[in-house]
């Protein structure tokens, strides 16, 4: 008896894997034709650097989205971790100089907030949209409290040098992003955390009935997302040299957009970290390209919207079956 393609609602063809890739190539070619220096080594390095922090955030978000949930709190987490690291390493406000320990404690703050998210969603059964929205507010408020009127300036040279510097002419933040991506890939495809997250997204009821410890993995997903958001906050602060409550401004929307146009469905169970990474690179290319070809700031938002819409269409074209459910 041979396996056959059946009547499953989710028919997968080869095309959908390549949709975002094709979109990326088209964009790059287009921008290069419009402004030749777009393809220069320097600019590619800039694009890579601008993708780095969003990519880290997207990897974290991916696991949450695969489970069919969402984490709206990442900007708040970034704010808290930014201020935490800024106040713990050598800085202009407190007398502390904790160096690496300070960084680790800042990451821990992300873990803690993620844990709270997870408990509220998994145990208290609050829908993730609402729960993380509330945590976002709370975290932002807390960060504002920490910031007071005087945002702490980071004086720790090693941290600053790391944020702005390069190793073998690759920006350090890009190296971190690649490591995070590799870690995400391994987790997704080679651990129960990854596979069960897919399961939860594909059919939570069934997963539960099959005896999987669903709650545990939900909490884990939010913890991971919080951890990576904190990492993003720390790196962002290292770059601008401040503990800044707006270090993550706009990142939540950008991250969800990246995850979606990369091909990870918001209803869960489909997609992955590679797709999300692709999505972030696409967005970075668009943002960079628009500056490159000199679109006036007023038009940028409109153009960005059109491009994102086209990319989404391209990425999901193959799934246009009449009986497909679109949310």
Partner 1 sequence: MKKRALGIAGSLLFMLAAKIVAAPPLCDKSQIRLVNSMREIAQPYHADLDRGGRLFARWAGLEQRYVLQLNQGDSAKQVSLMRAMLTTNPMCTIFNVEPNADLVVQPMVDAANQSGAWIVTHWAHREGLHPFDGNDQWIAHVAVNSFEAGIAISKLLSDALGGNGGIVALQGRLDTDPARQRFAGLKQVLKSVPNLRLLDQQAANWDRTAAFPIMQTWLARYGNQIRGVWAANDDMALGALEALRAAGLAGRIPVVGVDGIPEAIEAIRKGEMIATVSSDAYYQGSIGLAMGVCVLTGQVPLPKTWPKEKREYYLKLQVITKDNATRYLSDPQATAYAHEWDCANLWSRSMGKAY
Partner 2 sequence: MSEPVLRAEGVSKSFAGVRVLDDVSIEVCAREVVGVVGENGAGKSTLLKMLAGLCRPDCGRIVLRGKTITLGRISDAAAAGIGMVCQEQSLLPNLSVAENILLGHEDAALRVGVFYDWDALHALAKAQLERLGLGILPSVQTDTLSFAERQMVEMAKVLAIEERTQQEPVILLDEVTSMLDADQTETVLTQVESLRNRASIIFVSHRLDEVLRLCDRIYIMRDGRCAAQRNRGCADIADLQQLMLGRDRVGEYGNRAAPESTMEASVSLSVRALSRANSYQSVSFELRAGEVLGIAGARRSGHESLCRTLFGAEKPDSGEIVLDGKSVSFAEPADAVRLGIGYVPAERSAEGIVDRLSVRKNMTLAHLDGLRRGPVIDLRRERELVMRWIERLHIKLRAADAPAYHLSGGNQQKLVLAKWLIARTPKILILDHPLRGIDAGTRVEITSLIHDLAQRGVSIVLIADTLDELIALSDRIIVMREGAVCGSFPALSSGKPSVRQILEVMV
**Residues engaged in binding partner 1 (CB under 8 A):** 35, 37, 40, 42-43, 45-46, 49-50, 144, 147-151, 153, 164-165, 236, 239-242, 244-247, 249, 287-288, 291-292, 294, 297-298
Count of positions (residues) in the chain:
327
240 CB burial (10 A radius; 0-12, 13-18, 19+): middle
112 CB burial (10 A radius; 0-12, 13-18, 19+): middle
Interface size with partner 2, residues (CB under 8 A):
33
Contacted by 95, from partner 2, partner 1, none: CB < 5 to 8 Å by type: none
> Distances from the Cα of 295 to the Cαs of 238, 254, 288, 290, in angstroms?
30, 20, 11, 6
Q: Ramachandran region of residue 154, left (φ > 0), alpha (ψ -120 to 50) or beta?
A: beta
- Note whether 151 and 242 are within 8 A (CB): yes
Contacted by 35, from partner 2, partner 1, none: CB < 5 to 8 Å by type: partner 1
Give the binding range for partner 2 (CB under 8 A) out of 21-29, 84-92, 133-141, 209-217.
209-217
- Note whether 249 and 143 are within 8 A (CB): no
With respect to partner 1, which residue has the nearer C-beta, 204 or 288?
288
Contacted by 21, from partner 1, partner 2, none: CB < 5 to 8 Å by type: none
Q: How far is the CB of 278 from partner 2 (least distance, A)?
A: 19
With respect to partner 1, which residue has the nearer C-beta, 87 or 219?
87
Exactly one of 145, 186, 291, 306 binds partner 2 (CB under 8 A); that residue is 186
How many angstroms separate the CA atoms of 137 and 234, rounded?
19
Place of tokens 């290069």: 32
- List residues binding partner 2 (CB under 8 A): 1-12, 186, 189-192, 195, 198-199, 201-203, 206-207, 209-212, 269-270, 322-323
């Amino acid at each position: 008896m041979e396996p056959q393609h059946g009547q499953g609602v989710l028919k997968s063809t080869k095309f959908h894997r390549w949709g975002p890739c094709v979109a990326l190539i088209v964009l790059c070619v287009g921008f290069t034709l419009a402004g030749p220096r777009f393809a220069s080594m320097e600019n590619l390095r800039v694009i890579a650097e601008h993708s780095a922090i969003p990519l880290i955030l997207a990897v974290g978000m991916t696991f949450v989205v695969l489970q069919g949930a969402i984490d709206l709190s990442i900007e708040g987490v970034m704010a808290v971790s930014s201020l935490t690291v800024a106040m713990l390493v050598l800085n202009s406000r407190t007398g502390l100089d904790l160096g690496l320990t300070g960084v680790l404690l800042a990451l821990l703050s992300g873990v803690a907030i993620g844990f709270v998210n997870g408990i509220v969603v998994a145990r208290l059964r609050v829908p993730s949209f609402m729960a993380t929205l509330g945590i976002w507010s709370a975290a932002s408020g807390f960060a504002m409290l920490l910031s007071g009127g005087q945002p702490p300036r980071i004086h720790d040279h090693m941290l600053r040098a790391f944020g702005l510097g390069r190793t073998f002419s690759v920006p350090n933040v890009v190296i971190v992003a690649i490591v995070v991506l590799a870690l995400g890939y391994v987790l997704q495809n080679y651990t129960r955390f990854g596979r069960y997250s897919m399961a939860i997204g594909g059919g939570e009821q069934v997963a539960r009935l099959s005896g999987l410890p669903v709650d545990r993995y939900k909490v884990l997903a939010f913890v991971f997302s919080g951890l990576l958001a904190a990492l993003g906050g720390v790196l962002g602060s290292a770059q601008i040299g401040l503990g800044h409550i707006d270090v993550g401004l706009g990142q939540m929307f950008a991250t969800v957009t990246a995850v979606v146009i990369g091909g990870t469905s918001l209803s869960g169970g489909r997609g992955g970290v590679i797709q999300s990474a692709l999505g972030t690179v696409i967005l970075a290319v668009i943002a960079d390209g628009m500056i490159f070809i000199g679109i006036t700031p007023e038009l940028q938002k409109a153009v960005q919207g059109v491009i994102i819409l086209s990319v989404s269409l391209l990425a999901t074209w193959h799934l246009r079956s009449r009986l497909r459910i679109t949310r």
